[in-house]
Structure 1
Amino acid sequence: MKLVILDRDGVINEDSDAYIKSVQEWIPIPGSIDAIAQLSKAGWTVAVATNQSGIARGYYDLATLDAMHARLRMLVAEQGGEVGLIVYCPHGPDAGCDCRKPRPGMLKAIAAHYHADLAGLWFVGDSMGDLEAALAVDSQPVLVKTGKGPKTLAKAVPEGTLIFDDLAAVARALIHT
């Protein structure tokens, strides 16, 4: 199985320091929906692992989060693709859970669901927490220059991190290798 795991905010859709609190605020980054569809059509399973502390903070509820993910699935399906498992951490940063990135709980859950090995698997994110979660399970950290990517890139990213302009560039690299 060819599996790639994506962060959501800043990778698939525009990010906001004020949180994405509604379907109307969930705006795809140009090229990201097509990139997921292209990966899917090329035989890749595309899973998503996303921190969603806005739930714990009371900014939106699970029904709203589900509606955002339904929109993502619909847009990708309209392009002939499919989104696989979407896992999220609803906890705040101080909850001490194992699922909130940089902890690797969500990546492990996706691996268990697909009976996949995380070693070497690409995890695409835009933050240092994403890169650290990838490293915690021996996955390949991949940084995109969308969302928080430019700020993350300004820091010392882990050695061996692959860097791409956006999700479309990641998709091209995976499809043509």
Structure 2
Amino acid sequence: MSSNPNQRSAPADFPPPAAKSDKDWRAILTEDQYRVMRHQGTEAAWSSALNGEKRSGAFLCAACQAPLFASDDKYDSGSGWPSFTRPVDKQAVDTSVDHKLIVPRTEVHCSACGGHLGHVFEDGPRPTGLRYCINGVALDFKPEAPQATASHTPTDD
């Protein structure tokens, strides 16, 4: 993971990545989440229900529940993975260079727990021009609570 001077700390009840053993991660994550988030795997394209998620809400890290992306920044990139134009804030994610393929890519990690999320590419829409291509298995979705409507009961005056 690259050094980030603005890196935020993990939630108080979540130890930093170094404090968790492999056994701890396996107990917290599903097999697919573990493969993707702890070993930089990739889920199959079009396999995540979150790819088609259109409700308002927040996309959280599946490992530590840190807020990562907002539904307002999600779009259909046609790539087969949930895609976003930006993280919820600059400190939500960290990046590093991934040399696993012939062309280096920018890998995206959760800043709070270090979990691998996916990659970011410079072929996204305006205003950022970025496409955060994220494995759905690395995310949890928290829908926005419905707004309460005030009920008006007519009264006899």
Superposed pair shares fold, TM > 0.5? no
Larger Rg: 2
TM superposition score category, shorter chain reference: under 0.3
Scaled by the length of structure 1, the TM-score of the pair is: 0.24
- With structure 2 as the length reference, what TM-score do the two structures score? 0.26
